[in-house]
Structure 1
Amino acid sequence: MKEYTEAELKYKAEAYCSKSEHCPAEVREKLRQWGAEPEVAERILSGLAKDRFLDTSRFCRAFVRDKYRFNQWGRMKIVQALRMKQLPSEDIEAGLEEIDEEEYSNVLKSLLAQKARGLKAGNDYERNSKLIRFAVSRGFAMDEVLRYIRQADEFLD
């Protein structure tokens, strides 16, 4: 494996951060893979943060937007993923404020409607329990799911 100088590592990390938003844990892992010593990695990370290549609140906002729009994840799954990336709670909360409530509701409704069309269930109870399990596994809160399941007859029949 090639040995990199600190300047080369910093340049590689800047290029990595320029391509897309990354959190400090991802960049730290990349630096480790490139062979950076922990103290060198921390110096590079602080430099990247100072130069605004790394910004945890910006990362959280982008992550939240992408996950609920494109992956159709619910709040719970998004929060769990951000916590696994070791991000500060304040930044996670700020990121969640990016969620447009109407768009979020529409995502949940369309997910449930789409899933219901493909479900095989003997009765409403069985269908509803399958829909609830599905939506909760996508990270939507139980109360959000139940609200739409109760209104389900409008869009499921």
Structure 2
Amino acid sequence: MGIAHSFLWNMEKKSFTFEEIRQKLVNYCVYQDRCHYEVEQKMKEFLLIDEAKEEIMLYLLQENYLNEERFTRSYIRGKFYIKHWGKTKIKIHLKQKQVPEKLINTCFDEIDEQDYNKTIRKIYEDYYSKQKGLKEYQRKSKTIKYLMSRGFEYEKISDNFE
């Protein structure tokens, strides 16, 4: 291990005061909405005792830097309106972030039902039109599989194409 490498390693392990760590976590939450799980993962970068972690979490919650419902609503809007994910895929990703299912289901009202159906139809038509040289049922089945891989529910897909 060369001098430059050990110098970089020492820089990475810089120690911070409680206030500096708290401010870093405030900045982390201000940059974009976070869920509790993401903040807990971020805290692992700092060697904090449990009491310090709890105190920082409490501070972030009290000052509204950390708000699980706001995070969930923002996440749902972004993944649907920007990435065009279906509800199934969104729910799976939120569960991986340890967001409670009840909260996820409550926040799905962020997606307008008409927008949801319109998006299913648009993705269906775009993808379907690109399937060349296949029999009708193959084009349809491939398109349905594609929509399901994007997280749209089979029932919703078939409701839109009966």
TM-based fold match above 0.5? yes
Q: Which residue matches 1:76?
A: 88
Is 1:85 the counterpart of 2:103? The answer is no
TM-score, scaled to structure 1: 0.89
> Given the alignment, which residue of 52, 73, 77 partners 1:40?
52
Q: What SS does the corresponding residue of 1:21 show, helix, strand or coil?
A: coil
**Count of residue pairs the alignment pairs up:** 150
Question: What is the aligned-residue RMSD (CA, Å)?
Answer: 1.4
Unaligned runs of 5+ in 1: 151-157
Shifted more, 34-43 versus 104-113: the winner is 34-43
Q: 1:120 maps to which residue?
A: 132
Q: Which residue, 40, 57, 64 being the options, matches 1:52?
A: 64
SS at match of 1:8: helix
* TM-score in terms of structure 2 length: 0.86
In structure 2, stretches of 5+ residues that fail to align are 1-12
Match of 1:10 in 2: 22
Query: Partner amino acid for 1:119?
Result: Q
What CA deviation, in whole Å up to 9, does each residue of 1:91-126 have, x standing for no partner? Answer: 212211111011111111111111112113421110
| Equivalent residue letter for 1:50 | Q
Report sequence identity in percent: 29
Structure 1, 134-143 or 24-33: larger mean CA deviation: 24-33
Tell me what 1:154 maps to.
none
CA drift at 1:37: 3.7
One-letter code aligned to 2:18: E
